[in-house]
Chains A and B, each alone.
Chain A
Amino acid sequence: MGLRLEASGIHKAYNGNAVLGGCSFSFESGVYALMGTNGCGKSTFLRICALIEDPDMGEVNYYSGALLLEKDIKLRRRITLLLADVGVFNLTVLKNASYGLRIRGMDKNELRQRAESALEFAGLIHKKDHSALTLSSGEARRLGIARAVAVEPEVLFLDEPTAYIDRRNSELIEEMISNMKKETVIIATHDEAQARRLAGRVLSIEGGRLA
């Protein structure tokens, strides 16, 4: 059974400037697109939903069926967020791709296999031994996607996953997203056509609220 995510009354301000003023929504298996102008708070909302930042007010809760899940590391390891500025590690491409598996203590052989197939998918396998810092912006983004899918999350947040990426690779990424049927995928994007192609529902943040 998939995870259901309920955000209720999320408020967030930075240095006294309100960004989110009461966002509520319930997400369950399916693809959602999140739209809105620059600076409206999409990335902030995703970070809060992905449990890597706390809201000032309101709550994010995850449910498995009717069961409310504790917000511990076990839950956090079932969800992943691809950040808008990926944050590649100063390691090889392969070590980046396997990071999430390594910190889960996965066995070396299995880890290597999974990281390599994620890189294969992202079209980066020929660069696996390169330093990740030498990648182009689009390649870095694809590495971010490889790193995220390698951990096989049940809920996947993608912050502008196809920015900087060429058409062919965007299509591959979109195909991957549409294949994640059982999972919950929430994508922040500025591409309206992409939002309509991929998402069952398109949401937008306006004036700090979800509409």
Chain B
Amino acid sequence: MDLVLSGFKQAFLLIIRLDRELLRIILLSLKVSAAALFIAAVFGVPLGAVVGLRRFPLRGAAVSLMNTMMGLPPVVVGLFLYILLSRSGPLGFMGLLYTPSAMVIAQSVLAFPIVASLSHSAVMGVDPVIRQAALTLGATPFQAAIAVLNEARYGVMSAVIAAFGRLMAEVGAILIVGGNIAGLTRVMTTTIALESDKGNFELALALGIILLMISLAVNAVLYLLQRSGGMKRGRSWA
């Protein structure tokens, strides 16, 4: 009990004092996840939109594949990337293993199917009458697709933010390819996973508290987005 109490006290002190090590870890976490999210969104949103808006052969298979990839176990992704990036692996010459870049790649792979699949659902959820209405007003097929995508904007933003939440909490993949090297690749989750039994209990606890707050903030934003998007169903007619 004493350990817990003093641990919390020390943890709060670390947070209040804006401890350098603590800040560096938080910053790297945010940077890695934000970069991965950016890459995933740049490719995932258009892919989800195209799959949602266009009819093409094997479309059902593409959707299933996206949904399956959403559940990729992070440790497996980490393992595969490790094999690719390790010194003797096919991409070993790039020297990326145990760098933040490797972590960004791993998290991009994890976030991409989440963003694509949830964007796809958001686009599919748009009432077909929106596309028709755009066409009746003189939209080209491309402009009509933009109108549908615009209608799905809250859902797409939710997709991106949900992916960010997943990335911030992810540990398996970045631990394998990042290695939790102090001052270089140590991020919030890997520190919590590895430092709590090394007598660095306070640091782990402080990071845990911050991580919870970030997760809370992410969910608050998601809630607000879903509420504004939900207006659409607030009234219905015909």
Q: Which A residues form the contact surface with B (CB < 8 A)?
A: 47, 50, 52, 73, 76-77, 80-91, 99-100, 103-104, 131, 133-137, 140, 144, 147-148, 151, 163-164
Measured between beta carbons, the chain A residues less than 8 angstroms from B138 are 73, 76-77, 80, 100, 103-104, 151
Q: Which of A103, A148, A164 contacts B139 (CB 8 A)?
A: A103
Given contacts A80-B137, A140-B237, A164-B237, contact A90 B231 (CB under 8 A): yes
Measured between beta carbons, the chain A residues less than 8 angstroms from B133 are 83, 86-89, 144
**Interface pick from B88-96, B124-132, B167-175, B212-220:** B124-132
B237 touches A100 (CB 8 A): no
CB closest chain-A residue, reference B233: A133
Given contacts A85-B238, A137-B237, contact A100 B132 (CB under 8 A): no
Q: Which of A50, A137, A163 contacts B136 (CB 8 A)?
A: A50
Measured between beta carbons, the chain B residues less than 8 angstroms from A100 are 137-138
A52 touches B137 (CB 8 A): no
CB closest chain-A residue, reference B148: A89
What's the nearest-Cβ distance from chain A to residue B185, in Å?
42
Q: Which of A77, A80, A86, A90 contacts B232 (CB 8 A)?
A: A90
The count of A-to-B residue pairs whose CB atoms sit within 8 angstroms is: 78
A80 touches B238 (CB 8 A): no
Q: How far is the CA of A171 from the CA of B127 in the complex (A)?
A: 30
B127 touches A87 (CB 8 A): yes
Question: What string of 1s and 0s marks CB contacts (under 8 Å) between B196-234 and chain A?
Answer: 000000000000000000000000000000000101101
List 21 A-B pairs, Cβ < 8 Å: A52-B135, A76-B135, A80-B137, A80-B138, A81-B136, A84-B238, A85-B129, A85-B238, A86-B238, A87-B133, A89-B147, A90-B229, A90-B231, A99-B137, A103-B143, A131-B231, A133-B234, A140-B237, A148-B136, A151-B138, A164-B238
Measured between beta carbons, the chain B residues less than 8 angstroms from A99 are 134, 137, 147
Q: Which B residues form the contact surface with A (CB < 8 A)?
A: 127, 129-130, 132-140, 143, 147, 150-151, 229, 231-232, 234-235, 237-238
What's the nearest-Cβ distance from chain A to residue B164, in Å?
23
Given contacts A89-B130, A90-B232, contact A83 B147 (CB under 8 A): no
Q: In the complex, which of the residues B137, B232, B234 has the most CB atoms of chain A within 10 Å of its own CB atom?
A: B137
Measured between beta carbons, the chain B residues less than 8 angstroms from A47 are 132
| 10 closest cross-chain pairs (CB), A and B | A87-B133, A85-B238, A100-B137, A87-B129, A77-B138, A137-B237, A81-B136, A52-B135, A103-B143, A133-B231
CB closest chain-B residue, reference A50: B136
Interface of B is mostly: helix
Other than the known A52-B135, A86-B133, what 7 A-B pairs have Cβ atoms closer than 8 Å? A52-B132, A73-B138, A90-B150, A103-B139, A133-B232, A140-B237, A164-B237
B132 touches A89 (CB 8 A): no
Q: Which of B140, B147, B234 contacts A73 (CB 8 A)?
A: B140
Q: How far is the CA of A84 from the CA of B129 in the complex (A)?
A: 10
What's the nearest-Cβ distance from chain B to residue A118, in Å?
12
A148 touches B137 (CB 8 A): yes
Q: How far is the CA of A140 from the CA of B231 in the complex (A)?
A: 15
B135 touches A133 (CB 8 A): no
CB closest chain-A residue, reference B139: A103
Q: In the complex, which of the residues A50, A52, A77, A91 has the most CB atoms of chain B within 10 Å of its own CB atom?
A: A52
Q: In the complex, which of the residues B129, B143, B151, B238 has the most CB atoms of chain A within 10 Å of its own CB atom?
A: B238
CB closest chain-B residue, reference A144: B133
A134 touches B235 (CB 8 A): yes
B151 touches A89 (CB 8 A): yes
B237 touches A103 (CB 8 A): no
Q: How far is the CA of A135 from the CA of B234 in the complex (A)?
A: 11
What's the nearest-Cβ distance from chain B to residue A100, in Å?
4
Measured between beta carbons, the chain B residues less than 8 angstroms from A80 are 136-138
B235 touches A87 (CB 8 A): no
CB closest chain-B residue, reference A82: B136
Given contacts A83-B133, A87-B130, contact A137 B238 (CB under 8 A): yes
Q: How far is the CA of A80 from the CA of B139 in the complex (A)?
A: 11
